[in-house]
A and B are shown apart, each in its own frame.
Chain A
Amino acid sequence: MPNKKTKSKTNSNGNRARNGASRSKTPLLAKDARKGAPTPVSGLRTYSIPDMRLEHPDLSVRQSIEKDKDGTEHVRYEVTGNLDAPVPPIRDSKYLDKKQCIEIYRYMLLNRKMEVALENLYKQGKVVGGVYFGLGQEACSCASAYALDKDDWFAPMIRNQGSLLVRGFRASDTMMQYMAKADSPTRGRDGTSHFGDIEKRNMVSPISMLGDLIPVLAGVALGARLQGRNVAVMTYIGDGGQSTGVTYEGINFAAVQNLGLVLFVESNLWAYSTPSEMQYRCKDLAERAIGYGIPGVIVDGTDACQVYDAARDAVERAHRGEGPTMIEAKMMRMKGHAIHDAAAYVPKPMFDFWKKRDPIARFENYLVKEKKWLTAKENAELISEVERMIEAEREIAVNSPMPTPESAEGGVFCEDGCHEIKPKYGMPKVTKRTGGYKETEAAVHLK
């Protein structure tokens, strides 16, 4: 029910009493996330951030100066930490069954193979502009979107091309966007995965300016609530993009208004050439949730089950009208910023470390070897089915014509009869006022 304040018993930071700290009768014991050791505190407020991960990589990156033979100094990034840590298992999902896991796995495969196809199209000179990849982040994109209900909304960022596939867009939609074709969802006016769908799939088109989607999505939730529905609105922000001021403004407003924002913070360790160490000072970005007064949770972004479970909890919280959730997904951007960027600034051992945590390879191993939910043969069939599908989609996309120059002009404004957008969930209620308005006076200095 809209506008209903519910008291929930979340064990994280949601709906905490105004004065802050979680209070308990027993002496306060806070698990200091940084040191992992319980520290006795008295009179101090303590908060905790649930962490669903089965490992806690302790890698850090810093700038160092290297001298070459002739004494010229070069600035390099260096990674330190336990680079040989064993790969953790996939955490069993609280919610997902066999069929659902396989479905998510299939979307992840589609996601990757679509991006391989895009890379090839680029090499063949068929792509206009650059190509962006979500390599290593497929679990985050696909399992998050999978947690949404049909009526929920989402807006992907550039690494979430997989989310679109989960929501029912075709690979050819994105491919045609990249090739700037006339049949692309934007008819050649925008590129990449920058398109939306208000009718069927409830997707708000991405905004290039990082962070701008957060208040926009919160606004979608606000509008839906005025129409009588609590919907979940999911979007993503990078560990770099979250440094923008609009990120703060959007989350804060959603928190104050209990809007169903589900914000994935994609901690992939880099923002173009800038390591996350130069982006923020807190240890985990999920800690920021404490400051907003909303639940924050950390997941392994390469583990589809963890991503799904956290997303589903957040979506259900949104449906109950209890407000936003911040989910930090820890992973690694496994390619450069875009196809033009060789990412020479990334220390190679970092790639090696995360390569072993490839979300698809691990999920495959989980489904085939651990759970035995897929036989090797079924798996091979699934992979070739996905490949055939991508090939067919590629054909469709390549064969679409380019738009004509004449279509550049016009369409800036929605003119009469252009199209209609109705509130999806019903008209907002109008409360009738009985009495007249009270006359009040402006403050003296405003007269």
Chain B
Amino acid sequence: MALVTKENAGLRLVTRYAVLTLVALVFAFPLVFMIISSLKPDQQLLQDTSSLRAFLPVGDISLDNYRAAFDRAPIGRFMLNSIFVTIVTVSMSVAICSLAAFAFVYMKWSGRDAALSIVLATLIIPFETIAVPLLLMVSRLPWIGVEGVEWGWLNTYRVQIVPWIVDALTVFLFVQYFKDLPRELIEAARAEGASWFQVYRRVVMPLSGPVLATAVILKSLKMYNEQYLWPLIVVQDEAHRPIMVGLGYFFQLNVAWGELMAYLTLISVPVLVFYLILQRAFIASIASTGVKG
């Protein structure tokens, strides 16, 4: 029999905080290490890794690494590229994937179930397997620009955006969410004279806050943090290069550790800002959909 006394409860509280603090530290250590190291010259940085000094701003502290990193790579350009590609892709993705999910869940058309199965089946295809065929395709696609028709999409923003707009996971998230919305709301809107698109815009989307947050967060993190292989293949010019490919600038003959840490710290700032803005939506969406980025 457990006796619940005041001391017991107090002890439990202390234990809980201790555990939470420990977990927070485990997650914070790499970040602290990154930021602290970005302030140290390479030699000291490497020496400090063998002791707790690695986490302390001690010794020869300066912003020299940042200055050098800016000299080495057009960081501002890379970040703008990544942010631009992320914003455009994510907005188009949630718009188009939610429309697709709407058609899959609410509208009746022949072949619907088969089509949905095929879309969801693409979840299991790793990107690496389609990278080469996709490269061949985009290298020959036409585009109507200011100077008429151009051929080939290499070294552009669109080659980094278009292939990523539609993905099965985002469609799936919306499909699951739409299935759980009360059907009568959709039927009431239709009976009230709404067209399919009006049902989508005025009833379904305004009620889709949680799934929108989830989709935006997952997709944004993917587009900003994980775009490496594809842009490495299709973007050769600096003007369109995203941040992750920019990492390569710091892995030349000798790895410039301090500058690398400075670069990583800088490119983390937008993620941090994004997180702070969407913090509440972030927590709510994980709580409601059980999906973690």
Q: Do A and B come from one complex?
A: no
Using a CB–CB distance below 8 Å, which chain B residues touch chain A?
Answer: none
Using a CB–CB distance below 8 Å, which chain A residues touch chain B?
Answer: none
